[in-house]
Amino acid sequence: MNKQDLTNEIKAEALRLGFFTCGIAKADSVEKATADHVKRWLKEGKQANMDYMANYMEKRLDPRLLMEGARSIICVALNYAPHDYCSDSEYQLAAYALGQDYHDIMKAKLRRLAAKFGYEDALISQNPEAHKCRIFVDTGPILERYWAEKAGLGWTGKNHQLIIPHAGSMFFLGEILVDEELIYDQPIKNRCGNCRKCIEACPTKAIIENCEIDAEKCLSYQTIENRSELSSEATARIGNTIYGCDTCLKACPWNRFATPNDTPELQPKAELLQMTRQQWENLSEEEYRKLFKGSAVKRAKYKGLMRNIEAAACFSREKQLPLSNKSKDYEQENK
């Protein structure tokens, strides 16, 4: 099969497996401007306590170091926009966490895609004649949004989310690094323009002008990755969110094009959508394990989720009381 036919077949199979789109980029070192940006962001401590983001920097900036003979990066996006959400009057979880853990779902689909074309895992294959691959879903040292851009899937918005034209940004990303040369796609133009809606909507002002996030301020970081107490700023701005934050996604005009996904594993459990504030506040560890079996919410652990619920409950109670000075300041700055 020639390169063009193989490329076409890979993309067609990706769509058949349920991915929304698929593009291919040449495996190469990242551009200097991007490398400098990443290094500066880390040097300034914008990653908060996620120190692992500085690990394997050489590989992060040159995916060819992740696999001998790497030549192409197959990039895919899987829609996670839900059919149903938690009631607006109840506590909220980020939309991506309503279904089963996306790491497992994405990796299973990517393995099937790789196997269809004879690619074997470079880390375990014993066949010297087979073409090799490596699969990544948000866990390896690879700049996912950068390569999705290079593969023509979309562009990185000001909130650092990949935006797919006329589809929005509610997508999981994944990559297959392969040792074959394919036909490469071209990046598309960034179409955020002068829009600042995500920047203005962010409750903690975590989105910085030059298309990056100050993780320490971000509610997603605070409610998921942070293993200690919530920051005072997060506590004052948490609202009714108890895991993650979708505020910048909801503010993005491109997400008006989002359509509900049809992946069975990503559909939320009925019992999750039916949870009331009282049930959340009295959630036992056993109930937590049952409710979130196979879910990405496990990352916050029971202790972290209950910390978030307590903060959201306090926020809700304080809204019923006379405004504190902190609340007045927040109200004034958000007029």
* Number of H-type helices and E-type strands within the chain: 14, 11
269-285 pLDDT per residue, tens: 999 999 999 999 999 99
pLDDT at 18 over 70: yes
CA angle 219, 230, 216 (to 5 degrees): 50
Checking if the pLDDT of 335 tops 50, the result is no
- Residue 217 has φ and ψ, to the nearest 5°, of -85, -20
What string of DSSP letters covers 305-320?
Answer: HHHHHHHHHHHHHHHT
Q: Using CA atoms, how far apart are residues 276 and 282, in angstroms rounded to an integer? A: 10
**What rounded mean pLDDT belongs to the chain?**
94
Q: Are 147 and 75 contacting, i.e. CB atoms less than 8 angstroms apart? A: yes
In sequence order, the β-bridge partners of residue 155 are 163
Where in the sequence numbering do the catalytic residues fall?
138
Q: How far from chain centre, in Å, is Cα 96?
A: 8
Task: Give the tens place of pLDDT for each residue, 207-250.
Answer: 987 778 999 999 999 999 999 999 999 999 999 999 999 999 99
Could you tell me which residues come within 8 angstroms of residue 111 by beta carbon, excluding any fewer than 6 positions away? 135
Which pLDDT tens digit goes with each residue over 161-217? 999 999 999 999 999 999 999 999 999 999 999 999 999 999 999 998 777 899 999
What confidence tens digit (pLDDT) does each residue in 122-164 have?
999 999 999 999 999 998 999 999 999 999 999 999 999 999 9
CA–CA dist 192, 187 (Å, integer): 15
Strands 21-26 and 72-79: antiparallel
Q: What is the pairing mode between strands 162-163 and 212-213?
A: unpaired
CA separation for the pair 326, 304 (Å, rounded):
24
For residue 319, what pLDDT band results from cuts at 50, 70 and 90? confident
331 or 76: which carries more pLDDT confidence? 76
Q: How confident is the model at residue 1 (pLDDT cuts 50, 70, 90)?
A: confident
Mean pLDDT confidence for 53-61: 96
